[in-house]
Structure 1
Amino acid sequence: MHFPVSLIDIFETENERKMNIRDAIVASKYGKTVELKRDKLKISHSTVEKLFEHSIQQIVKQVQKLMTDERMADVKAILMVGGYSESSLLQRAIKSAFPGIHEVIPQEASSAVLRGALIFGHNPMALTERVLKYTYGVETTLPFVNRVYPQSKRKKADIGDRCVNIFHKLIKKELSVTPGETQVERYYSTCNKKQNCMPLAIFISEEKNPTYVDGKGCAKIGTMFIKFEEPDDLPGRRVKLTMLLGGSEIIVELEDEKSGNKVINTAEFWG
């Protein structure tokens, strides 16, 4: 590979031992496998393979993990895209790890992802189905039960003691959804008298059935508020939440059941 002269000058100026780069290479652990001749750096084949060994192993390991899913039972081919897919080292590793599966590597695999993004940008409905990477839910409360919930999550409300930070699941990870068609509806009620608004924080989780929004693998992606122009004297005012999964975003609507007022917002699709 070409080795810029300017890089040689920088090395010999900045290194504390004031060694020239050829002597530094000889003194290193690569002394017998790397050589600098004029402006060319010669690297042995075994050393190059070693540089990519870890990343290739991790890719193979991840694909093997995906293939253990029962939904992958009928998979007959692996489509390899992206610049790394053009590497013969990676191609050989995939073929060796999955001998019964056909590998498909399109021409100009490095630009396939970019071209796909452009097609999707012009026609979002080209994406007909998604498999959710995360579980989506909102933060809510439940009646507090001793010995079931920790005391640290106990909070007084007009309807009684509540357990806070509950992750109320809207839709579970690994579920196949159709953008523009998959819709979720839930109802939530106020807990206090004269409550003038209801905040609903939307969370994602890496777990299928998370318990609390502050648990491991959870992250908040946004908070919505719906205001009540005329607060009720008693708790229990209902709000309807509707979540529509779009092509690249989530559309969330809150509707005050009493007044009919609505609030609509969008969030980035995380999976």
Structure 2
Amino acid sequence: MVGGFSECELVQMAVRNKFGGDRKIIIPDESGLAVLKGAVLFGHQKKKITKRILKKTYGIQSWPEWDPDIHPETKKIRMGGTDRCKDVFFKFASINDKAEDGHTSSQIFQALNPNEKTLECAIYTSTDPNPRYVTDPTCQRLGNLIVDLPKLKEGETLEIEETLVFGGTELLFRAKNLKTGRVFETQLDF
């Protein structure tokens, strides 16, 4: 046990009662300072942590063509003359994946509504390794990124490359307009 509360005998007793049994509970000297010392060491030597095991699944909302064999009728929506399935979780990285510092995962999507002036790109996390929809109870919106869209001519398509970059204690979410090359970014803490 580490952290400030680990020095409290009441907490120690509760942990032993809950998890003790056949497990040994270890409380090192100065356990209250362990987290602080770790944070200071990380601040001075950022390259000490080179890989991270992801605690959650990361993805974005997508709108694939609606397939009656896969998608429920309640998720069916008509966009630009095509039936689409709303709220589909498009997975970038899964729970328990090992992500090295700087690991990137990208996918190219089309802006589906030519009349929109902006596109909201939302990133979601889930405690499920394979969530189906961003509305599932295991999913939570982590953040979003607003991308300015240029005026499109009738029939013209626009592709947006969405990228997640896993770093030490942060997640960089990037969206690039492949027509203009303009890049939009936001950083999110793990």
TM-score range, shorter chain: 0.7 to 0.9
1:140 has 2:62 as partner? yes
Following superposition, the deviation at residue 235 of structure 1 comes to 5.3
Structure (1 or 2) with the greater strand fraction: 2
1:262 has 2:187 as partner? no
Using the TM superposition, name which of 117-126 and 137-146 deviates more.
Answer: 117-126
Residue 140 of structure 1 contacts residue 168 of structure 1 at CA under 8 Å; is this kept in 2? yes
For 2:19 and 2:139, the matched residues in 1 are separated by 33
Number of the residue aligned with 2:136: 215
For 1:135 and 1:221, the matched residues in 2 are separated by 11
Q: 1:21-36 maps to which residues of 2 (within 5 A)?
A: none
For 1:256 and 1:153, the matched residues in 2 are separated by 27
Q: 1:32-111 maps to which residues of 2 (within 5 A)?
A: 80-82=1-3, 83-84=5-6, 89=13, 97-98=22-23, 105-111=27-33
Query: Comparing both chains, which one has the higher relative contact order based on Cα–Cα distances under 8 Å and sequence gaps of 6 or more?
Result: 2
Number of the residue aligned with 2:47: 125
Larger Rg: 1 or 2?
1
Using the TM superposition, name which of 244-253 and 224-233 deviates more.
Answer: 224-233
Q: 1:165-176 maps to which residues of 2 (within 5 A)?
A: 165-176=87-98
For 1:95 and 1:221, the matched residues in 2 are separated by 35
CA pair 152-95 structure 1, distance change in 2 beyond 3 A:
closer
Using the TM superposition, name which of 143-152 and 132-141 deviates more.
Answer: 143-152
The RMSD of aligned alpha carbons is 2.5
Unpaired stretches in structure 1, ≥5 consecutive residues: 1-79
Same amino acid, percent of matched pairs: 24
TM-score, normalization by structure 2: 0.85
Number of the residue aligned with 2:160: 239
One-letter identity of the residue aligned with 2:62? T
For 2:58 and 2:138, the matched residues in 1 are separated by 12
Residue 132 of structure 1 contacts residue 177 of structure 1 at CA under 8 Å; is this kept in 2? yes
TM-score, normalization by structure 1: 0.61
The one of 185, 192, 209 equivalent to 2:113 is: 192
The one of 34, 48, 52 equivalent to 1:112 is: 34
Number of the residue aligned with 2:123: 202
Q: Deviations over 1:51-110 (max 9, x none)?
A: xxxxxxxxxxxxxxxxxxxxxxxxxxxxx42342785755798775247xxx76432112
Number of the residue aligned with 2:83: 161
Following superposition, the deviation at residue 155 of structure 1 comes to 1.1
For 1:129 and 1:86, the matched residues in 2 are separated by 32
For 1:135 and 1:112, the matched residues in 2 are separated by 28
For 1:114 and 1:125, the matched residues in 2 are separated by 18
Unpaired stretches in structure 2, ≥5 consecutive residues: none
Following superposition, the deviation at residue 238 of structure 1 comes to 0.8
User: How many residue pairs end up in the alignment?
Assistant: 186
Classify the secondary structure of the residue corresponding to 1:139.
strand
Using the TM superposition, name which of 146-155 and 165-174 deviates more.
Answer: 146-155
Q: Deviations over 1:131-182 (max 9, x none)?
A: 1111000011111122532222111111501110111101101111122x21
For 1:229 and 1:193, the matched residues in 2 are separated by 9
